[in-house]
Amino acid sequence: MNILILGYGKMGKIIGEIAESRGHSLSAKINIDNRDELSSLDPSTIDVAIEFSQPESAVENISWAMARGIPVVSGTTGWLSRKAEIEKLTAAQNGAFFYASNYSIGVNIFFKVNEFLAKLMNETNGYQASMEEVHHTEKKDAPSGTAITLAEGIFKNVDKLDNWHLVGQSAESEHSLPITAKRIDPAPGTHIVRYSSEIDQIEISHTAHSRQGFALGAVLVAEWIQGRKGVLSMDDFLSF
């Protein structure tokens, strides 16, 4: 399989190493410094694009690939206010677009545990929900895309919560989930969901030890997406 990497930073490099170790070839490794090389690529020789760039580049990168019939696997966060545009383009091109805020298999299991706990807590009085996430200092968006996905899982199941606020930076309300975002090197990613009461605290957490799990998941999805169409997610891939 020939893979185009859009966004060749730390994650892109690990993705490239894992892809090559699994017998795949890299058509090109594109970042902000060599984006002009896209014009010289033959789209017919590219089987999939894996896009892990920056929020300000994501839509342009994904659109470039989709317009040329290249399936896209995207893990960039911080741009989802424009996701509807990409979904429309996917439909218009009869293409394949896969997005996940986190490609770690462990994190996606954690998403399900989070939703199950939220259902239980919705039937229990006296607990206040909150969340904390910790990432490296190079991560630009806060809260993380993973934290937002966790929050959405809570909103689906806890009646009194319908939005989130970043602690210390945005307004809060009784219906808002407080999220604390910390940027500490070299943390690749920790997410903690808490339910606190006057008498006790319930807490679930996921801590990544490296970026390897995220990168491997992206490559596995790139292998899986071949021949598929539409807007896809980790639920499709894992068949939960």
- Tens of pLDDT, residue by residue over 20-43, are 999 999 999 999 899 999 999 999
Angstrom CA distances, 166 to 38, 94, 144, 179, 182, stand at 37, 37, 11, 5, 11
Residue of 139, 156, 160, 209 marked active site: 139
Residues of the chain with CATH 3.40.50.720: 2-103+212-238
Nearest residue to 92 (alpha-carbon basis) of 225, 222, 229: 229
- Residue 168's CB: how many other CB atoms inside 10 A? 9
Give yes or no: 139 in active site: yes
Copy the structure tokens of residue 14: 């690990």
Identity at 161, one-letter amino acid code:
L
DSSP calls for 193-205: EEEE-SS-EEEEE
Identity at 167, one-letter amino acid code:
V
Q: Does domain 105-207 have CATH number 3.30.565.10?
A: no
Which element (helix H / strand E) includes 71? none
Residues of the chain with CATH 3.30.360.10: 105-207
Nearest residue to 95 (alpha-carbon basis) of 63, 57, 127: 63
Give yes or no: 135 in active site: yes
Q: Does domain 2-103+212-238 have CATH number 2.40.50.140?
A: no
pLDDT mean across residues, the chain: 95
- Beta strand 230-232 with 176-183 is unpaired
Which SS3 state, helix, strand or coil, does residue 141 take? coil
Side by side, the strands of the sheet bearing 163-166 are 163-166, 176-183, 128-135, 190-196, 201-207
Residue of 135, 160, 175, 206 marked active site: 135
Q: What per-residue confidence (pLDDT) applies to 169?
A: 84
Q: What is the Rg, in whole angstroms, of the alpha carbon atoms belonging to the chain?
A: 19
Q: Which residues have CB under 8 Å from 180's CB, separation 6+? A: 130, 131, 132, 133, 166, 167, 168
- Tens of pLDDT, residue by residue over 136-168, are 998 878 999 899 999 999 999 999 999 999 998
pLDDT above 70 for 240? no
Q: Tell me what the mean pLDDT of segment 163-181 comes to.
A: 90
Percent of the chain residues past pLDDT 90, beyond the cut: 88
